Amino acid sequence: MKLLRYGPSGREKPGLLDDQGNIRDLSKVIVQIDDAMLAPKNLARIARLKPETLPIVKSKPRLGVPYAGVSKFVAVGLNYTDHAAESNMPIPKEPILFMKATTSLCGPNDDIIQPKNSTKLDWEVELGIVIGTKAQYVPESKALDYVAGYCTINDVSERDFQLERGSQWDRGKGCDTFGPVGPYLVTTDEITDPQTLGMWLDVNGEKRQRGNTKTMIFGCAHLVSYISHFMTLLPGDIITTGTPPGVGLGMKPAPIWLKPGDVVTLGIDGLGDQRQRVVAYPGK
């Protein structure tokens, strides 16, 4: 099941994508897709609906973050061996965790706003894990039982803010629009093995990233379990799981950075594609 929210920012309606690629309106069935709706019993209730009985949304509306109610946006750094190598950083012995501000969240095709004083704007296609059930100290063998679904994420980054102004990665990861999520929340009945997903990202139509979640250093089950030992994961929390090689920082012979006017396209098998245009901060 592919759940989504569509419409103007702040006024999104609930919907789902049917097998023919049509957006179906859920607003007469549920008020909103939010953290409460991600509980297994509520997802099961939506799954029992017959999509053909729901109205088709005939326009091509803006898509928002696929659900509301994100309390935490947890990120994992250097989780692919070859990305650690291109970043000239050692392979971590344990997951590297940082937080992306929830104010960075935006729709999958919204503009990326280059912040004031930004000089090293970068891209990162990543698999997102969406929690559906409260998780505390969960064993790895049971960890995926706490997952509602998965989504495509662009972990937009400002490398000067992240790496050259102290040790706190958060400042380079949490700017407004640095967290495009979606287009869909794809439930676990469709993604039975999150460690077999191909992923890609292009800039202005040129190949940049190609990878597969099978090359993660720490897999999804390990990450959910590990993080749940340090913080309680609540329904709606997102874990973005790291990126494969091909980021701007690692380009040879010199890094390549995003600039206003660039277009970033990206996607993950079964989870849908994104498209963002880079724009300057107003008045920059």
Q: What backbone phi and psi angles, to 5 degrees, belong to 226?
A: -60, -50
Antiparallel, parallel or unpaired: β 157-158 and 2-6: unpaired
13 plus 117 within the same structural domain: no
pTM of the predicted model as reported, rounded to 2 decimal places = 0.96
Instruction: Report the chain's mean pLDDT, rounded to a whole number.
Output: 96
The answer to whether residues 179 and 66 touch, using CB atoms and an 8 Å cutoff, is no
Q: Residue 284: which pLDDT band, with cuts at 50, 70 and 90?
A: low
Task: Give the list of residues 6+ apart from residue 264 with CB closer than 8 angstroms, or none.
Answer: 112, 123, 154, 201, 202, 203, 258, 274, 275, 276, 277, 278
Mean pLDDT of 85-95: 85
User: Phi/psi of residue 100, each to 5°?
Assistant: -100, 135
What is the rounded CA–CA span in Å between residue 85 and residue 267? Answer: 23
Would you say residue 82 has pLDDT above 60? Answer: yes
* Length in residues, the chain: 284
Q: pLDDT tens digits, residue range 187-224?
A: 999 999 999 999 999 999 999 999 999 999 999 999 99
| Confidence category of residue 272, pLDDT binned at 50, 70, 90 | very high
45 and 78 both lie in a single domain: no
Assess whether 247 and 130 both reside in one domain: yes
Domain of residue 31, residue span: 2-53
- Are the C-beta atoms of residues 238 and 181 closer than 8 Å to each other? yes
Please check whether residue 113 lies inside any domain of the structure.
Answer: yes
pLDDT band, residue 89 (cuts 50/70/90): confident
Claim to verify: residue 234 and residue 113 sit in the same structural domain: yes
In eight-state DSSP terms, residue 248 is G
Are both 113 and 32 inside the same structural domain? no
- Which DSSP state fits 205? T
The reported pLDDT for the residue numbered 64 is 98
DSSP letter at 88 equals T
Sequence-distant (6+) residues with CB within 8 A of 101 are 73, 170, 173, 174, 175, 178, 179
For residue 190, tell me if it sits in a domain: yes
* 17 and 132 in a common domain: no
In a domain, 230, yes or no: yes
User: CA 127 to CA 274: how far, in whole Å?
Assistant: 13
CATH code: domain of residue 225:
3.90.850.10
Q: How many domains, in total, are found in the chain?
A: 2
Residue 34: the pLDDT is 98
Residues 138 and 102 both lie in one domain: yes
Q: Quick one: 39 and 103 in the same domain?
A: no
**Same domain as 145, residue 30:** no
* 78 and 46 in a common domain: no
- For residues 265-283, average pLDDT: 96
Residue 160 to residue 137: CA distance in whole angstroms: 35
Positions of E strands within the chain: 2-6, 13-17, 23-25, 73-77, 96-99, 105-106, 112-114, 121-122, 125-131, 147-154, 157-158, 179-180, 185-187, 198-203, 206-212, 238-240, 263-268, 272-280
Query: Is residue 176 within 8 Å of residue 113, measured between CB atoms?
Result: yes
The pLDDT tens digits of the residues spanning 135-193 come to 999 999 999 999 999 999 999 999 999 987 777 788 999 999 999 999 999 999 999 99
Per-residue pLDDT tens for 256-267? 999 999 999 999
| pLDDT tens, residue by residue, 9-50 | 999 999 999 999 999 999 999 999 999 999 999 999 999 999
- 63 assigned to some structural domain: no
The DSSP letter of residue 135 is: B
